[in-house]
Amino acid sequence: MYLEDVYQGGGEFMDNSDLWTNILAKIKKETNSLSYQTWFEDTKLYSLEKGVAKILVPYALHKDHLANNYKKLITSCFIEEIGETVELEFVIKEDLDTTPEEENQSQNDIKEKNIYENNVFESNLNKKYTFENFIVGNSNRFAHAAALAVAEKPGETYNPLFIYGNSGLGKTHLMHAIGNYIAKHSNKKVLYVTSETFVSEFVEITKKQGNKSNFEYIDFFKQKYRNIDVLIIDDIQFLAGATESQKEFFHTFNNLYGENKQIIISSDRSPNDLKVFEDRLRTRFSWGLPVNIYPPDFELKMAILKKRIVGEQVTKEIPEQVIEYMASNIGTDIRQLEGSVNRLMAYSTMMCAEIDLNLAIEALKDYVNAGYSEKNDVSRIQKIVADYFKVSIEDLKSKKRNADIAFPRQIAMYLCRKLTEESFPKIGIEFGGKDHSTVMHSCEKIELEIKTNKQFAETIEKLEKDISN
């Protein structure tokens, strides 16, 4: 019988809905969010009788994938919940309530058409990320303006839009804001995905090679990524090393670009810094407009903190002095800045104390330490190089071009590039707003000098040791 009750013990019974909810909760803890959302979120326990659990899944693709990859996990969850093993049967709606003859005919019908043709389109956009709640400052003003221009005229202005910068600076927020704006003001189809999703879906297709219905999966994949008006793909750097996925993305890019469909890409580094990508793909990333989001300055961090405080409807007053302390001492990751407000409020509540500077220093000491470490030692490198060559840090950041300043500056830039994960543009900013090409030239010059001058190479090695200690 369907919706069969399952005995819980203690005289209580649990219907299939509650049972499956409990099992999904266990599965969610054992899988990452992407896998859970893709393969489990839209499933149901259709029936449980005679030791057979029929699990209703949305598409035939799910049947094979769950059976091949998650059968053991699901079975163990059933054992934990009901105390006995079950046989799993994954079904789609077309499989239910049919005779064997009807089922065979149904399968033949499915193979004669694209079973994904009438799928409900999912944009994957997060509605909470909009232009209205994106806080604009000097460090992100240009990126914000470019994003809004693309949102107003997708496919016409800056295609592709390539947004890059360190993690936690608002790239994803801007991308969703573009998508939400387009979806609200037009009937264009917008798709947001991470590069991890793109790779996993492409790999899934390659696993189907040799399967008679493989064309269905290929067709579904191509329709998903090419039959749209706006493709937003996050963290493109994770395509590095995925050679076949890069090739497929190259063809997807060409298809969309050729039809004037808008492409929006984000990365933690500039197109020029994606050295592991094919040249033809990196070149295309620069066809439109690459824009950098820089770390927030003090004023922007103050605005972000105040916005967060208002948004959290904080009941306790946070003095301006405390907000200034947070903006001055916590790193540039916006998520960490926002999290520090929650941390401060929770600490104040648990300690039954009013918020003042001393309480903030105690509550946020872990955040402050993390903030300093997030600077990736650029300032430390500058200080060590400046001390070694007996110049000031201000000299390294200045526009002075005399050799006794310019050469140490080039060395410091080279060491920053080698020993940190900062991009050329970001290093340029740390040295008084130098252009990224200046940083690149400095690194190339120092690399050449190291190869040709043994004594100089020893000097660089000594500086590296001093920085690492």
Which tokens in the block code for residue 295? 């770390």
d(CA 347, CA 364): 9
Instruction: Give residue 212's pLDDT.
Output: 46
AA letter at 303: A
42: how many CB neighbours lie within 10 A of its CB?
12
Angle formed by the axes of helices 454-468 and 403-419, nearest 10°:
60
Instruction: Give residue 300's pLDDT.
Output: 85
DSSP characters over 64-84? HHHHHHTHHHHHHHHHHHHSS
Instruction: Give residue 312's pLDDT.
Output: 57
Phi, psi of 113 (to 5 degrees): -140, 170
Instruction: Give residue 310's pLDDT.
Output: 73
Q: What is the pLDDT of residues 354-384, one digit of tens each?
A: 888 888 888 888 777 544 333 447 888 999 9
Instruction: Give residue 316's pLDDT.
Output: 66
Instruction: Give residue 414's pLDDT.
Output: 94
Instruction: Give residue 302's pLDDT.
Output: 85
pTM confidence score: 0.53
Q: Which ranges of the chain have pLDDT less than 50?
A: 1-13, 98-120, 212-213, 370-376
Instruction: Give residue 367's pLDDT.
Output: 74
Print the SS3 string covering 329-377.
Answer: HCCCCHHHHHHHHHHHHHHHHHHCCCCCHHHHHHHCHHHHHHHHHCCCC
Which tokens in the block code for residue 157? 């202005």
Instruction: Give residue 463's pLDDT.
Output: 93
